Amino acid sequence: MTRRAWRATSVLVALTLAGGCTRGQPALRSGQARGANVLLVTIDTLRRDRVGAFGDRRGLTPTLDRIAASGIRYTRAYSHVPMTLPAHTSILTGLTPRRHGVRNNTTFRLDQRVPTLATMLKGIGYRTGAFVGAFVLDARFGLNRGFDEYDDRFGHSDRATFHFAERRASDVLSAAGNWILQPVPNAQPSAISHQPSAPGAQPWFAWVHLFDPHAPYDAPGGAGGDRAPYDAEVAYTDAMLGQFLDRLRADHALDRTIVVVTADHGESLGEHGETTHGLFGYNATIAVPLMIAGPAIAPGEVNAPVAHIDLTPTILDLVGGPIPPGLDGRSLVQPPPRDRPIAFEALDASLTRGWAPLYGVIQDGWKFIDLPDAELYDLAADPGEQRNRAGADPRGEVLKTTLRLLSEPVGSAPAVSLDSEAAGRLRSLGYSGGSVTSRRSVTAADDPKRLVTLHERFTAALTTFDGGHPEEALSAFRSILDTRPDFISARASAATVLLALGRPSEAVRLLREAPADQADAGDLLAKLGSALRGTGDLKGAAAALERARDAGNQNPEVLNDLAVAYAGLGRPTEARTLFDALLARAPGSATTWFNFGLFELQARRNADAASAFRRAVQIEPSYGDAWYALGSALVNTDRRSATDAWRQAEHLLPRNYDLLFNLGMLLADGDSPADARPYLSRFVQEAPRARYAEDIARVRSALARLDRRPS
């Protein structure tokens, strides 16, 4: 992408402003944007101190700065958890994590009984669309409810990786713009009184999630210049948002639109020893930018404490919709008191590694973090949170009491169902899978401050593997286990690497070396089942997978592997029952449809197999293995369709020489044999000689026959 393609344009969000509010006295009014459109933009991993409107001088965010200048900016806004899924769940429900129950990125989904901003706005006549930039917000996690359109389309990876799928801001915003500007046939006006921009127009709610500032930082060419990699991602995202708003403005789609922009959380960038986010609760990751602009909203600044839970009730209040009772958030039409407490948490390391859970509270300019080594900071005097006042100031005990009242668990969410591909996509930087099944008392040795170096070694090992260095990554995981044998995620990740290297017996040994109190850990049992299947021990694999299932592990990877084991053991009825359950639970999982197709193909039900493979490629057109399998299911009954499927597969799997051979030979025997030549020639030139010597000879004979054909 050229510099011209990403440079911010001179967009000025043309929002109708009214009133004579001064910057020191901003005001919102209930219903002042009655029936207006709503554009909610969440920028992943955006630090507040990188936005010019909040004091940055790098010039990274001219688009955000103009939005802030035309509306209200909130200088003390906070996320309740520095992880993407739980933070967005709070944004879209008005509930804290203890109420909605989603505590990290990997093991929860939002309970279907919990209303969302989308369900509420849809209920009063809005059309609703969501456009997300990363798989961590995939529909399977429950935030899709209430959206007419939930665009979470990501490409399929056919190689083992710890990095999950994402897409550029330009792609997300293009899809969002197309949806917003599309003609809506027979649109019904909102159920609430409003004055739309066009007679009879239906208002819309669009949520746009931009993932680019998240690690790894790799802004498109031309966006970086001499900026630091993270800053280049921020600048690129801001520029793309500017072009998007220009497009909407040109079509008058912003004439009556509330624009709300925030971040789900920030990024540590090395502060307190943390490179990314998710481990700690310092302001580098929980302080977020927040700005609201729109019809009749005068420019201003609010210095009172606000949080993500306030966005849903505020939006509903502004557009004239009813605010349901029982929300944790409050409408910012009435600014909150300056001594309002804001609770936050960071539980991923506790849930996946058995480390100490982190809870905290901010109140009246002070922050308390409840850990074995407690922390207390005076944020005004010590904004970098470097001088721990715990034990030296009585405010610590007061805030600890406040935190206990705010953090009592009163809600829960069901464990999410992940297929094997989904589990792999989520194990990226800061997003390790797994769960601790047996709880023990934590000590100072479990405080994440004492373990941050180990955390950094773990995330570095994940990155090393993704960078194409599996042996180096494996060595790093083993070193971590030497230090902390109970590090479940490191053990499971090391086994994943061994399986990718084709060494399942070593993976079995490694998994069986886990501490005795982790014998029933679901992730380790599930990985053990996969490893045993890799060794050919289907009976042992089934036993391990059954133990994982019976222990409560409902990850579809477990059920899928168990179904495959049952099929191999001659238990097809049980295998089919499991596949039926998987597809009923997650009908949008391309991987599950692919595996079910293989099961049907093995049973020689080729028509049913082809149907399953078609579903897989409809869901994920970049799924090369599914295209290949589809061709295999069709080759004896529909050669033309088989050829088309294998052509698609060849583009996606260019080094699959079995596919290349089959496609070339099929074309050579067909109506247009000349079409086979490029595939057969590539096979002769590129296929490994030792493995394909006999096939290479056959292909050369086929090419010779083609040469003898009359032109």
Q: What is the CATH number of the domain that holds 389?
A: 3.30.1120.10
Query: Which residues are CB-neighbours of 221 under 8 A, at least 6 positions away?
Result: 1, 2
Quick one: pLDDT band at residue 163, thresholds 50, 70, 90? low
Residue 487 tokens, joined: 């590090």
Tell me whether residue 342 is in a domain. Answer: no
Omega before residue 216 within 30° of 0, cis: yes
Provide the CATH number for the domain around residue 459. 1.25.40.10
Residue 363 lies in a domain: yes
At 434 the pLDDT is 45
In a shared domain, residues 384 and 481: no
Burial class (CB in 10 A: 0-12, 13-18, 19+), 108: buried
Examine the domain organization and report whether 399 and 521 are in the same domain: no
Over the stretch 212-264, which tens digit does the pLDDT of each residue have? 999 999 999 767 678 999 999 999 999 999 999 999 999 999 999 999 999 99
**Distant-in-sequence, close-in-space partners of 449: CB < 8 Å, separation ≥ 6:** 272, 280, 371, 373
Domain boundary among 530, 552, 586: 586
pLDDT at 86 over 70: yes
Contact 175, 151 (CB under 8 A): yes
Q: Please tell me the predicted confidence (pLDDT) of residue 675.
A: 92
118-159 pLDDT per residue, tens: 999 999 999 999 999 998 998 878 899 999 999 987 766 656
Residue 20 has pLDDT above 60, yes or no: no
In a domain, 527, yes or no: yes
On whether both 482 and 391 belong to a single domain, the answer is no
Boundaries of domain holding 546: 447-586
| Residue 27, in any domain of the structure | no
Cα distances from 639 to residues 59, 633, 647, 667, in angstroms, run 58, 10, 12, 9
3-state SS record for 632-685: HHHCCCCHHHHHHHHHHHHHHCCCCHHHHHHHHHHHHCCCCHHHHHHHHHHHHH
Is pLDDT at 585 greater than 80 in this prediction?
no
Confidence band, pLDDT 50/70/90 cuts, at residue 432: very low
The answer on pLDDT for 620 being more than 90 is: no
How much is the average pLDDT of 455-477? 95
Residue 172 — very low, low, confident or very high, per pLDDT cuts 50/70/90?
very high
Identify whether residues 460 and 528 lie together within a single domain: yes
484 lies in a domain?
Answer: yes
DSSP letter for 94, please. S
Which of the two residues, 155 and 82, has the higher pLDDT score?
82
| Residues of the chain above pLDDT 90, percent | 70
For the ranges 444-453, 520-529, 607-616, the lowest mean pLDDT is seen at 520-529
Residue 390 structure tokens:
């715990």
Strands (E) across 243-382 are located at 257-263, 287-288, 290-293, 300-302, 306-307, 342-346, 358-363, 366-370, 375-378
Mean pLDDT of 99-117: 88
Same structural domain, 573 and 516: yes
Among the candidates 544, 564, 586, a domain finishes at 586
Same structural domain for residues 463 and 548? yes
Between 620 and 168, the more confident residue is: 168
Residue 401 sits in the same domain as residue 481: no
pLDDT at 703 over 70: yes
Query: Is the entire prediction scored with pTM above 0.85?
Result: no
Residues 461 and 570 in one domain: yes
Q: Reply yes or no on whether the pLDDT at 650 is more than 80.
A: yes
Beta bridge partners, 42, equal 209, 262
Residue 242 lies in a domain: no
Residue at 383 is within a domain = yes
CA distances from 134 to 84, 389, 615 (A): 10, 39, 22
Q: Which range among 17-31, 109-123, 136-150, 356-370 shows the weakest confidence by mean pLDDT?
A: 17-31
| pLDDT (0 to 100) of residue 551 | 75
Lowest mean pLDDT among 367-381, 404-418, 633-647: 404-418
Write out the two tokens for 639.
Answer: 């050669």
Chain centroid offset of residue 182 CA: 27
Q: 500 by DSSP, 3-state: which?
A: helix
Are 488 and 556 part of one and the same domain?
A: yes
End residue of a domain, out of 547, 562, 586:
586
Decide if 340 is inside a domain. Answer: no
Check whether residue 403 and residue 476 sit in a common domain.
Answer: no
Residue 382: the pLDDT is: 97
Domain count, the chain: 2
Q: Give the pLDDT confidence score for residue 558 in this predicted structure.
A: 81
Residue 454 and residue 532 in one domain: yes
For residue 14, give both structure tokens: 């043309």
**How are beta strands 149-151 and 127-131 bridged, if at all?**
parallel
As a whole number, the mean pLDDT across the chain is 87
Least Cα distance to 644 among 613, 685, 689, 609 occurs for: 613
Task: Please state the rounded mean pLDDT for residues 392-397.
Answer: 95
**Which residues have a Cβ under 8 Å from the Cβ of 358 and sit 6 or more positions away?**
280, 281, 345, 346, 347, 349, 350, 369, 370, 371, 448
Is residue 489 domain-shared with residue 390, that is, in the same domain?
Answer: no
